[in-house]
Amino acid sequence: MVFDPLRSSYYEVIFIWTSNDGVTFQIETYSSKTGSWRLHRDGFSAPVNTFSSPTGVFWNGSLHWISRTCSLYFNASHELLQTMPSPPIPADGFDSKKVKCEYFGVCNGHLYFAEVHDSSATRFDILEMDIDYTCWTVKYHVDLQDLAIAYPEMVRARYDFSILLIEEDEVSSNLVISLPDKIISYDLKEMSFKKLHGGARVTAPKYSAYRYDESLACV
């Protein structure tokens, strides 16, 4: 969904569907202003894993999808589909089977991406996309070694921890991390952490978290 209450009280829903060949896609948008659907341009081709994420990420007026083979963003207002740089390949190469967890989201007007590999499960970088889509740059170097010592269950098996959110304000920058039976806030500057919630064990290998933002708009 494309919705920016600072610009308009209306929203748009983006629907992407594929033909039988699995690589040719079409884009349709629903406008709450007109109450109707609109089919955009001709079909386009993209690798099958381009839209493997359950939802696109809304940033800078566009919806974004990221993958190692093809990263795209769609501006509904201008009806433009464009490519953006994919994240750089790690120095020791890329193997999708070794990806422990990943994060792709927005915080404080910044588009962030992080990918954690088996070979360096407690050390990774958080990348930020330039506003003009020039390239990804490193925003944070993360070292969760102390957290792993305190909670060894987070590195015992694949996907036993997930990055849920990045939170930033004038004072601090934090990762919100899900472990098998608890939620942790990790301070990126102080390298300290605290438990936010302890609950039932999550058995699914992956799940999504969504930021709650209050708004006067009726959506």
Instruction: Among 17-31, 100-114, 145-159, 192-206, name the one with the lowest average pLDDT.
Output: 192-206
Arithmetic mean of pLDDT, 155-183: 81
Arithmetic mean of pLDDT, 97-113: 82
Longest dimension (CA), the chain: 55
pLDDT at residue 204, as a whole number: 47
Arithmetic mean of pLDDT, 164-171: 87
Residues found in the chain: 219
Tokens for 160, please give them: 């036993």
**Which residue's entry shows tokens 């590999």?**
117
By the 10 Å C-beta count (0-12 exposed, 13-18 middle, 19+ buried), 95 is classed as exposed
pTM of the model: 0.82
Arithmetic mean of pLDDT, 20-30: 82
Neighbours of 19 (CB within 10 A): 10
pLDDT at residue 205, as a whole number: 47
Arithmetic mean of pLDDT, 36-58: 78
pLDDT at residue 92, as a whole number: 63
Q: What stretches of the chain show up as alpha helix (H) in DSSP?
A: 145-150
pLDDT at residue 208, as a whole number: 60
